[in-house]
Amino acid sequence: MTSASLIAAGALPSISDARADAPTAAVATPAASPTVTPSPTPKSAPVAPAMVNRPAKSPPTITRAERQASAKPFKDPLRELGTCEMRFSAVGASFTQANSEDVVDDGKDGSWMAEGKVGNRSWAYWANEDPQLLLDGGWAQGGLETSDIAERVQRSWFPVDTNLVILLGTNNLLHGTPIDEAPADIERIVRTSGISPDRVYLVQLPPSNVTPEKIGPYNKMLATTAAENGFHLVDVSTFLDSGSGSYRQGATNDGIHLTRDNAQRVGRSIAAAINANSGCQRLPAFDEMAAEHDLGDPVDVPHCELPDGGCVQLFQRGALRRSNAGDPTLLPARVTKTWRDFGVAALGNPIENPNCEIDADACRTRFELGTMYSTDDEAFVVRGDILRTYRDQGSEEGSLGVPTAEEICDDDGCSQAFEGGTIEWTPTEGAEIEKQ
């Protein structure tokens, strides 16, 4: 992929509501529609958020100098070591705006994307936390479709030499706009921005419990659009998706918008994509072993903030890890594939080298957000409340043994099978064990 980054987000709460600590569920509808409160639905059915009218006015005109006045200097503590300084701009709707500062503090005019003005329910806030990156351009307003942004975009939103990240389209699906209308809008946004296509990052939509059947087709369209225009494609859907276009358990509070923790994971994934394509951070020992084992190009920068002081890096055909000052270790192919399939942002980074002495047939690899048990043929991840209960029972050394299947979730909760029984979790009862 090329190296441009375009950040445009899907739907999120209106700003006035999103300032509250609890997530909101407001989604904008066409200007002619009055405020509507959905009728009660059965508990098992997804409930669309309450709708509000889509703001009709365009964002106020602003010069580049005025917009950049609030931007802070780079905060990169590694600058003197030769690492990069990269700027990025974000364009989108409520996934991007979230609880960010309003232009005129009325929740109707959207938010400029700049460090110090973005709220912590926006993925852009967390991408900006990366020491290599500085958010210093763009615009976001909840409830807008791709066509709304395309009509309002101004070149002055974007500084010179920025990367552009676009996460946009959830409102298209909520309002029933045909999917095939979005590519022209996205291309118009990029043309108006003046940013080179190789610095644009097109982010696939997170899942939706309201329009799950539309997420796959829309993301397929985004992949085609990215390939045809030379944009980077960033997948933040896989590690959030239950497998049917709806969210995994615990990833959303209202069926559409991300929890703050998952906004953080999305932001870190986007930051990693920008870093990976910049070529800024390299570890010679990793590069040498990657070449020796034909792992291909890096798809992420080295992450060296692991609890044991170690580093990990993901490549096209494998991953490498080392403990503090130790030699690199090649992660088993099955571990690497499952890590990537499950979602790097969903599991975090491995915090230990694979331990293949815990079981005659399986290896254990602990990650920041879960634990993986793997053989040459399969691998299963244990996480969340099920993992906490599993650890209380002694993990693989307890009566449950190692997992024999992946976690399965539905509207009622989640369950996971182990050699010695099953752990079932529901929001009302928590985790319970059924032993064989």
Q: pLDDT tens digit string along 261-306?
A: 889 888 888 887 887 676 666 677 788 888 888 888 777 677 766 6
Check residues 320 and 47 and name the one with the higher pLDDT.
320
Per-residue pLDDT for 61 more than 70? no
The pLDDT of residue 1 is above 90: no
Q: Which of 73-87, 96-110, 166-180, 262-276 has the highest mean pLDDT?
A: 166-180
pLDDT at 186 over 80: yes
Place of tokens 């938010």: 111
- Asked if 201 and 273 count as a contact pair (C-beta separation under 8 A), the reply is yes
Report the pLDDT value the prediction gives residue 104, as an integer from 0 to 100.
Answer: 53
- As a whole number, mean pLDDT of residues 98-112 equals 69
Kind of pairing between the strands at 421-426 and 430-435: antiparallel
Q: Which phi and psi (to 5°) does residue 300 adopt?
A: -160, 160
Q: Return the pLDDT at 70.
A: 43
**Closest by alpha carbon to 306, among 352, 262, 338, 273?**
352
Q: How far is CA 69 from CA 50, 141, 158, in A?
A: 36, 21, 13
pLDDT for res 307: 64
Lowest mean pLDDT among 146-155, 263-272, 409-418: 263-272
| Mean pLDDT of all residues in 233-246 | 85
| pLDDT (0 to 100) of residue 336 | 86
Q: Which of 76-80, 184-188, 236-240, 296-300 is least confident?
A: 76-80
Query: Can you give the pLDDT at residue 200?
Result: 95
Over residues 22-38, the pLDDT tens digits come to 333 333 333 343 444 44
pLDDT score of 305: 61
Average confidence score pLDDT of the chain: 77
pTM: 0.56
Where is pLDDT greater, at 411 or 6?
A: 411
Percent of the chain, pLDDT > 70?
74
Query: Residue 85: what pLDDT?
Result: 66
Q: 204 pLDDT exceeds 90?
A: yes
Helix axes 182-193, 212-229, angle to 10 degrees: 40
